[in-house]
Structures are given as structure tokens and as C-alpha cells.
Amino acid sequence: MEASDFDLEQFLPFRLNRAAEFVALRFAAAYKAEYGLTRPEWRTLAALGSCGRMTATEVGVHSTMHKTKVSRAVFALEERRWLKRTQHEDDRRVEHLELTVAGAKAYQELTKLARDYSAELETLLGTNGFAALSSGLTAVEKAMAKAPR
């Protein structure tokens, strides 16, 4: 038997992780340097900006962030007056989260950057590469939806 026909370079988890880090890097630099946001904060802002009013749990599920991360991000965004909480009418454990006007404005600016970066990525990867990646990710997302967790 041969030593091993395993090649790390071909191993999907490895490749995915490396690619994700690379792709996240440049954009992260923008929201960190320009807006002083951490990644969980940006993700929370984006979730709320894109989906509207949500609970903390929903944000966590949506972005696959641990609930403590969400909790801290929410706190930080609230301090900055970019987010406000309102109590659920029927269930006092739950809080609805919503962007303030200032938060929505920040979100608009960030999305502008995000769109620019998307375009940049598309040229960087080539139209075909971009499309392939996108459809591959769709497959993963489908798998996620039905996976046993």
C-alpha cells in the first residue's frame, strides 16, 4: 500500500477555509479601518440591514454566529446608537433588534463598499470562476439546509 494518496491541497475543508480567509481579508480591512467595526459587528449590522427587524437568536442562526458573539455585537452597536432594541409584546424574554437611522446610513455606506468589492472579486476571479464558486456555494447551502447539523 502506498504511503497515502491523500493530498491536503485537494481537501475541501482546507481549501474553503483558506479561500474564505483570503476573500474576507480585504473587505475586513475596510470596515475595520474606516468604521472601527469588528467582524461580528459588521455581520450583525448586515443581517439587520438586509433582513430588517430580527431577534438576536435569528441573527445568530442567519449568520451562524455563536450567541455570545451576537450578544456582544448587539451591545457594541447599541452603544454606538446604530441599533435599538424593543421588547416583544407577548414574550418578554425576546428583544427585537432594529437599526437606527444612523445605523441604516452606515449600513448603506458599507453596502456600497461591499458592492464595489464584489465587482472587484468578479474581475479577480474571472466570470467563470465567479459563477462556479457561486453555484458551488449554492450546493453547500442546500446541503446545510437539510444536514443533521
Partner DNA sequence: TCAATATGGTTACAAATGTAACTGTCAATT
Partner DNA sequence: AATTGACAGTTACATTTGTAACCATATTGA
**Interface with its own copies by CB under 8 A: which residues?**
3-4, 6-24, 27, 43, 46-47, 49-51, 63-64, 107-108, 111, 114-115, 117-118, 121, 124-126, 128-144, 147
Residue whose C-alpha is closest to residue 100's, from 111, 110, 113, 85? 85
Q: Which three cell numbers stand for residue 126?
A: 474571472
Q: Is 18 in the site for DNA (CB under 7 A)?
A: no
Residue 95 contact among DNA, its own copies, none, beta carbon within 5 to 8 Å by kind = DNA
Could you say which of its own copies, DNA, none residue 141 binds, taking C-beta under 5 to 8 angstroms by partner kind?
its own copies
What CA–CA distance (Å, rounded) separates 83 from 100? 5
Q: Which does 29 bind (CB under 5 to 8 A by kind): DNA, its own copies, none?
A: none
Minimum CB separation of residue 36 from its own copies in Å reads 19
Please tell me whether residue 15 binds DNA under the rule CB under 7 A: no
Secondary structure of 113-149 in the HEC alphabet?
HHHHHHHHHHHHHHHHHHHHHHHHHHHHHHHHHHCCC
Sign of CA dihedral 103, 42, 32, 23: negative
* Residue 67 binding DNA, by CB under 7 A: yes
The residue among 51 and 132 lying less far from DNA, judged by its C-beta, is 51
